[in-house]
Amino acid sequence: LTVAVLGTGPDLAYPRRHGELLQRIAADGAVVSEYPPGTPARPEHFPSRNRILAGLSLGTLVIEAAERSGALITARLASECGREVFAVPGSIHNPLARGCHRLIREGAGLVESASEVVAALAPMAAELADGLRRRLAAPINLGHALVTHGDHDGSSPVSGAAEPSDFADPDYQSLWNALGHDPTGMDQLVERTGLTTAELSSMLLVMELEGRVAAQHGRYFRNR
């Protein structure tokens, strides 16, 4: 499955010669854009688009990057949202390797082959897949989104509480209790909940989409 994230409207290919490729991806995969149909390509759209790429991916691999490169922005965004960052080293005389070397100095994983990236991400992918399978198999009335109001009579769950306090899924309740209105880092959430980074990333994404949680510079806090 191929997912294309565009810096234009979802109906426009950029460059135009990629029109047939866009149609093939749309037919067999997915085309993603935050811009309405008909939006042309603009330079400022592409760095903004890269945050979606970083968020959709388990990891970001930088193969070549100058010291002032858009690829470094994507790598920073990936790191801030808790994703893995990898870089391929190069010659010290190659200006397009300097960005990669900077990332490695800052903690990015040094890799030389695709198999190394796959091996690093495989455990997280497996955990996320298992978690998704468990949630898909769970009865609907055990879904994490069911919450009760503090002043509700308890006869039935209420969805979308302004200040949810009682999640049906204990893992989500534990995560909610670990969060506050001040930004909290992933390491602290792992320590407080006993859950893995992969599990927390999946749960935080769902809660963020629901509007219960917000993210800021790789830290998370209650949005309600």
3-state SS assignment for residue 213 = strand
**What are 61's strand-pairing partners?**
86
Domain boundaries, the chain: 3-118, 139-222
How does DSSP classify residue 167? B
Q: What is the pLDDT of residue 167?
A: 76
Which class is 3-118 in CATH?
A: alpha beta
- Residue 23 pLDDT level (bands cut at 50, 70, 90): very high
221/87: higher pLDDT: 87
Query: Tell me, what amino acid is at 218?
Result: G
In this predicted structure, the answer to whether residue 102 has a pLDDT above a threshold of 50 is: yes
Q: Which of 69-83, 125-139, 164-178 has the highest mean pLDDT?
A: 69-83
pLDDT, average across residues 9-33: 94
Pairing of strands 30-32, 3-5: parallel
Q: What is the CATH number of domain 139-222?
A: 1.10.10.10
Q: What is the pLDDT of residue 147?
A: 46
pLDDT, average across residues 84-89: 96
Query: Tell me, what amino acid is at 8?
Result: T
75/136: higher pLDDT: 75
pLDDT, average across residues 64-93: 90
Q: What is the pLDDT of residues 127-168, one digit of tens each?
A: 878 877 777 775 544 344 444 444 444 433 333 433 445 677
CA of residue 67 relative to chain centroid, distance: 25
In this predicted structure, the answer to whether residue 97 has a pLDDT above a threshold of 80 is: yes
Q: Is the pTM of this model over 0.75?
A: no
